[in-house]
Amino acid sequence: MEEAIQQEQQVVHKKKMRPWIKWSLISLVIVLLVVASLLLYVNAYINRSLADTEGTKSVSGLNEQVEILRDENGVPHITASNDYDLFFAQGYVTAQDRLFQMEMARRQASGELSEVAGEVALNQDKYFRTLGLRRAAEKSLELYDEESIKVLEAYADGVNQYIQEVKKDNKFPVEFKLMGVEGMDEWTVIDSLTIGKYMAYDLGGHWERQAFNYYLMHNFNEEEAYELFPTYPEDGLTNISDEEYVDITANLTQAPKTHEFNGSNNWVVSGDKTDSGLPLLSNDPHLGLATPSIWYQVHLDSDKYNVSGVIFAGIPGVILGHNEDVAWGVTNVGPDVQQLYLEQRHEDDPHKFKYEDEWVEAEVITETIEIKDQDPVEYEVIETIHGPVISEFANNTGGEEAVFSLDWTALDATPELSAVLKINRAKNWEEFEKALEDFHAPAQNFVFASKDGTIAYKANGKIPKYDDPDHALLPLPGWNSEYDLDEFIPFDELPRIVNPEKGFVATANNKVISDEYPYHISHMWAQPYRYTRIHEVLQESDSLSIEDMKDLQMDQMNLQARQFTPIFTDILENTQLSSKEQKAIDSLKSWNYVDDADNPQPLIFHRLLKHIEDELFADEIPEEVLSMFKGSGQNLDQLIMKAYEGKDVLWFEKNGGLEQVISNAFTKTIDELEEMQGENMSEWAWGDYHQVYFAHPLSNISILDEFFNPIEPVPVGGSNVTVMAASFKDNGITNHGASWRFVIDLENINQAHHIVGPGQAGHYRSKWYDNQIMDWVEGNYHLTKMDVNGGKRLVLKPE
């Protein structure tokens, strides 16, 4: 009986529970449906901004029909019957793939990031407003001929047509929404020219090193200072006295810094040394490695153009690549084109500066900087006769009586786009070299090949003539006209080689002139290791192939290690070593000097160099000042070699001597790596530390990282001194290197081999977004043909 009662109670209890279960399940289903609907909506919202790559579209502004074929790597091949439609379509297609990148690029170069990023970008905006890249672009437009202006306008029209479409259909890329950016202003020809000026800035010059040298001269004795100069001055440098000294740590160290290793490799080989009997040309520019790529690959075909290669998103034409007759590539010359001046300001009038015993009124420009969620800032830019006062942007203290201004060739009016368009149409070396007359900034080492067999080289650009090369080492007195830079190396006297006897020409930001060359170009040449390795490989063979060129671009032989590892092991074996340190020495002695991702020796070597540098400088020079020590690797190499040869080196002596510094650095290296990668040295690997990421601008927001950088950092070989350039931050992330790889055999000039890391597209849902990351790591090139006839086909018709 009792059992029956219990059963009945359980039944009643279950009946009472059923409605709650029912409604809980209903609620759960509703929540799931809402979440699913939300996800579907978000997915649809994100996908709607994917580029249309197939079908037919009617667009306003075209004259005639344009065909756009995208090959298997997403490269658009644009065919138009006239030039206006060609560049209109280039602007349209680039905007399809890179609209957010273009918006951020013009904002960064124009000093307008604060409007969307907030106060965090204000200091950077002040700097770029001070430089005045946009003002320089506006001046430059006055130099352009009618044809070039029409190209710029056509490109802008195409971009604006696409902007109108995305506004109408509310399909801006998701990054706009995440940044809180409502819409986008129309694109202008000045926007394109300003981005061009920004690239000149990125490859610009060495004012930071002048400021660093200036700091040394006023904080260390003369001998210590000179040891860290890029070249040892023959005479004492006393242009600026201690009484006139301005503390750079308060004025200049907050300036945004360009990357120390902005450079490149290029080479061209004559048909006498190739399998095909015609020239081979290779180029890999070294710039920041990010998502999307700094380069946009494209093929342009009209009645006047048939050119293939890459260009910066936001600019028309092709800056690097080939047409049906010639091919070309560049590296950075790295000339002294930026000169700091110390200016004397009137004590009662901050807008007047002393010049030849007179007080000259400076130009004052008031810039209004819009800031997200804040009131605008009125910012005053002052330009002396030499250029903008750049020490003002960090500490806007108008009462300072001494400030720094910057004279820089890229702030002048320059017509580089005219040069690019002429290069795109050049049929031979004579036409190509003639086009270079308009390419002023940045100064570049051009290598050239044509299907008639000609190979050539020219260091090109607007490079100041220094009466005394030592003047380029330090800021100059702005009050003395004797130091003005108002003359430039004549175009016909710039370094030039045509059809050299040795059968090839190569550059890797190395010194490109002999001691007999009559003009000063630079004190800041790159370390010689990349160039020496390229020269070794090209010299040893007379039957070079396209595959040899690819292998050389991916070459990981470390000639710096080949030179210094025996020195380090020799020194260290004369010190007292622990068992783990001896094991590391034995490992280094067995090394083949290849920076292979799987090997421990590159990890030991590169971290050892970093610790040696820290031993010498970290306690002596503030970190923010060390950030201006461009070319420190070259100095460190020279100091080590001098000390090893028994010469006096004060920076080693004051830190206990060469042996003590190397020993301390080595102990710290091994302890660090043991903590980083474990006690088992045989499992240490360069690639566990040295990895490539291609970070998206929004990936620093952790929740967005997995969306914009879905691939984890990938182990990679090479380093900053190998031909396979892969410079890295202190955390090992490779953030700088071969942003584009290009190889062409002039026997088949209508096709070329490329790698554009991480991919062609800027939309993270595109299959071309990051499909070339592993290609970049492993050296898998894609072939781009000018006569492509397959792929996705989009037709643009006049509306």
Binding residues: 336
Mapping DSSP to helix (H, G, I), strand (E, B) and coil, where does residue 521 land?
A: coil
- Residue 31 neighbours by CB under 8 Å, 6+ apart: none
| Residue in this structure with the two tokens 């004060």, named with its chain if needed | 650
N residues, the chain: 799
Per the residue annotation, which of 140, 148, 264, 522 is the catalytic one? 264
Cα Rg for the chain, rounded, in angstroms?
29
Q: For residue 218, what are its two tokens?
A: 């006023």
Distance of alpha carbon 329 from alpha carbon 444, whole angstroms: 9
**Spatial contact of 163 and 423, defined as CB atoms under 8 Å apart:** no
- Which amino acid does the sequence have at 20? W
Cβ-based neighbours of 10, under 8 Å, separated by 6 or more? none
CA 86 to chain centre: 28
Contact 305, 416 (CB under 8 A): no
Place of tokens 């001494």: 402
The 3-state DSSP class for residue 388 equals: strand
Helix (H) or strand (E) run with residue 784 in it? strand 782-785
Instruction: Pick out the residues of the known binding site for Ca(2+).
Output: 336
Cβ neighbours of residue 69 under 8 Å, at least 6 residues apart? 76, 77, 79, 788, 789, 790, 791, 792, 793
- Helices (H), ranges, 357-441: 416-425, 429-435
- Specify the pairing of strand 263-269 against strand 280-288: antiparallel
Best CA proximity match to 588, nearest among 609, 615, 562: 562
Closest CA to 305 of 290, 321, 291: 321
448-457 core/surface letters (b: 16 or more CB in 10 A; e: else):
bbbbeebbbb
Q: Which two tokens stand for residue 159?
A: 């971009």
| Residue among 523, 510, 487 at smallest CA distance from 332 | 510
- What is the C-alpha to C-alpha distance for residues 434 and 419, in angstroms, rounded to an integer? 9
Question: Could you tell me the two tokens for 507?
Answer: 């550059």
Q: Between β-strands 338-344 and 476-477, what pairing exists: parallel, antiparallel or unpaired?
A: parallel
User: What is the C-alpha to C-alpha distance for residues 21 and 48, in angstroms, rounded to an integer?
Assistant: 40
Task: Kindly report the three-state secondary structure assignment for every residue of 462-499.
Answer: CCECCCCHHHHHCCEECCCHHHCCCCECCHHHCCEEEC
Whether 308 is a known active-site residue: answer: no
The string of DSSP letters for 631-649 reads THHHHHHHHHHHHHTT---
Rounded to the nearest 10°, the torsion over CA 682, 685, 686, 691 is: -170
Residue 545, number of CB atoms within 10 A of its CB: 14
Who's near 345: CB < 8 A, 6+ residues apart?
A: 352, 353, 354, 400, 401, 402, 403
Which tokens is 147 given? Answer: 């044809």
End-to-end CA distance of the chain: 89
Q: What is the DSSP letter of 573?
A: T
Beta strands in 674-721 (DSSP E): 691-692, 714-715
Q: How far, in Å, CA of 53 to CA of 92, rounded?
A: 12
Distinct helix (H) and strand (E) counts, the chain: 25, 28
Active site residues: 264
